[in-house]
A and B are shown apart, each in its own frame.
Chain A
Amino acid sequence: MERTGSMTQRKWYSGMATQEDWWAVWLGLFFFGLGLFSIAGVDLVGWVAYPSTWIDITRSVKVLGEAYQGIGPVWGLITTYIVFTIATCIGAYFQKLDVKRFFFGWTFIFVLTYAAWILGHYAVITADVTTRDKYGLDYSLSLGEGGPFILCLILGLIIGNFFKPLARYLGEAAKPEWYIKTAIVFLGVKIGYMAMEAADFVFELALTGAAATIVAYLIFWPGTYLIARKLFKFPRKMSAVLASGISICGVSAAVATGGAVRAKPLIPVMVSTLILVYAVIELVILPPIFTATLIHEPIVAGAAMGMAVKTDGADAAAGAVMDELMRNKKLAMDGTRWADGWITTSAVMTKIWIDMFIGVWAFVLALVWVYRIERRPGEHVPASEIWHRFPKFVLGYLITWFAYLGILFLFPDVTDAARIGAMPVEKGFRNLFFMLTFLSIGIITDFRKLAEARFAKLILIYFIALFVFITPVALVVAYVFHHGMQVPLAP
C-alpha cells in the first residue's frame, strides 16, 4: 500500500489541525476566550448546567452564570449539549475521526455522564457532616464530587468489560486523553484564579513540583530499567520502553521511548495495554489508601499521586477523587474546610512537569542509543524530535494560567468582572471534562486484557516496579519536597 505520509511530523506546526493534543489547546483556549468577554460585561459561558446536591431531583441541576438564571436547568443542559457537541464534532472532523460515529458516541457518553453526575449528587452520597441537617439526613457518605466521579468510572468499566460491542462503538468518542487535556487547560484558569488567594503557595507548588519531578526521573527510570534488565533479563529495548512507561508518564512515555530506541512499534503497543489497565487499578486503590494514611500531608499525597499514577487522565482523576475524600475527611475530623482543587492541582502539576520533560528525556535516550549503544554509522537524531514529542496541551494550560494571573495582578479593577467568566470555565467546563474522562477511561479499559495477555512476566515486572519501587519512592520524594505544605482554607 502506498503511504501518503499524511501522518508524519514534517514541520514544527505539523498536527496543529489534526492531533487531539492540539485540539485540547484549541477547545480550551476557545472557551477561555469566551470567558474573558465578561471583562467587557458580556457573559458568554454562564449557560453551563451544573449538578448540585439534591434531595428533590427537580433541584438537582442549576445554571452557573447569574445572567442565565432565567433559562432554567433544562435549557442549560440543552445549551451545554449543543455547544460542546458542535465544538467536539468540529475537533473530531479535523482529527479525521468518523464524525457520524463520534456524534452518536459523544451523545451517548454526554447523556450518561450527566445522568451519573446528577445521580451522584444525591445528598446521601455527597453531603458532608456540616450539610446533613440541611438535607434532613442522619447519615451520608460524605463523598462530595468524588461520588459522581466514582459512579462515572464504574459505569464506564461496566460498559468496557460487559458490553464490548457497545464499548467498541463508543471508542470513537471515548477519548480520555483529549478530554483530560482540555480539562487541564481549563484548570489553568482555576490556578490563575486561585493564585489571587495564595500566590506564594502556587509558586512553591510549581517550584517543588519541578524539583521533585527531576529527582523522580533520575531515580525511577534507572531503577525500573535495572529491575527489568537484571532481575527479569529483558532485552535492552524492551527494558527501556518498560522503564519509561512504568516510571515516567505511561503510554506517552512508552511510545516516545520506543521511537527513541528505535524499537519495533509492537513493543510500546504491548506495554501500553498494560499501562492503561494498571492506571485504572491505581486510580481505584490509591486515593482511599493515601486519604487514610496521609491526611496530615495532603500535598505530599497529591504530588506522590502525580508521580505514581500513569496517564494524565488517570492521574487527574485520582487527584480529583482524593481531593474530595481528603477534604471531607478533614472536615469530619476537626471541622477544617480546605479549599477545593489544591490537592488535584498538586497531582496534576507534578504530572505536567513529568510530561514536559518526556521530549527531552526521549531525545537524550535517542542520543545514547544511536551514538553509544547501537552506533549506527551516519545516523543523526534531529533536535526537532523534542518539539514533536512535547505535550502541546501544556501550552494551553500555561496560557490560561498566566493570562488570568496577569489580569488579576495587573488589572485588579477588572478582577470581579473576570471572575464572572472564569467561574463557569474553571468549575463547570473543567468538571464536565473530568466526568467525561472518568467515563471514557472506564469504557476503554478491559481488565480481561490482563488475563488474555501472554506476557505474564511483563505483568509481574509492572506490578513489582509500580507497587514495590515507584509508589514508595514517589512518597519519599514527595515528602522531601512538599512536607509541611497545607491546603489553603476555603474562603
Chain B
Amino acid sequence: MMRALGGVRSVVAAAVLSIVAGCRLDSRADSLGDDNLKHFGLGHTPSAATLAAEDIDVLPSGVGLPAGSGTPEEGAKIYAASCASCHGANGEGIAPYPQLIGGPKGRFDFATDYKIPRTIGNYWPYATSLYDYIRRAMPLTAPGSLSADETYAVSAYLLSREGLIPSGTRLDAKGLAAIEMPARKHFVMDDRRAGSGGRRVR
C-alpha cells in the first residue's frame, strides 16, 4: 500500500496513518522486521568476561585474530611433536587424517580427478581459516592446548612449506590476513537455483 502512494506524500501519509493506527511503523529502526513478534523476556545478559572468552571466531579480514606471533622454524618443532603423528612427518596425511601440504601447485582442475590432493596451498581460500581451525580443533587429542604464539607458529610452518611465506617470517594477525591464497579466486558461490531449485541440474 505504501509503495503505491509514492514520493514525499507517502511518508507524510504513512506517518499520519501510523498515528491514526496508534502504532509506529518503524518502532525498532535498529532491528529488522519481526515487529509483530512477542518478546518473552527470557535469557540473561552475558557478562563481559563471557563475551570476551567465547568470541573466538576469525574473519578473512583478520578481525578476531588474537595478539601473538610465530615463525615457521618455531612451528616445525610444534608440528613434529603435536601434529606429525596423524598428518605425517611431511604433512602427507595418514588415513583417515588428511594431507595438509604438498598438493600440486598451480593446478585447480579438481573436478577432473578426485585423487588430486587438496591441500592448504591449493584448496584453502583464506589463511585465516587455518588459524581458526587449529585453535578450535587441534591437536585432536588435546584441542585448545596451543597458545596463540604456538598457533601462529604452526600456521606459519604449514604456509611456508606450501611456499606461501618465506622461511624466517614472523607471522602475526596482520601478516596472516594479508596472505593471498592461490585457491581464493577459484571459489564461486552456489550457482544452483536458490529456493525451490527449479528444474536445472547443476
Q: Do A and B bind each other?
A: no
Which A residues fall within an 8 A CB radius of B? none
Which B residues fall within an 8 A CB radius of A? none
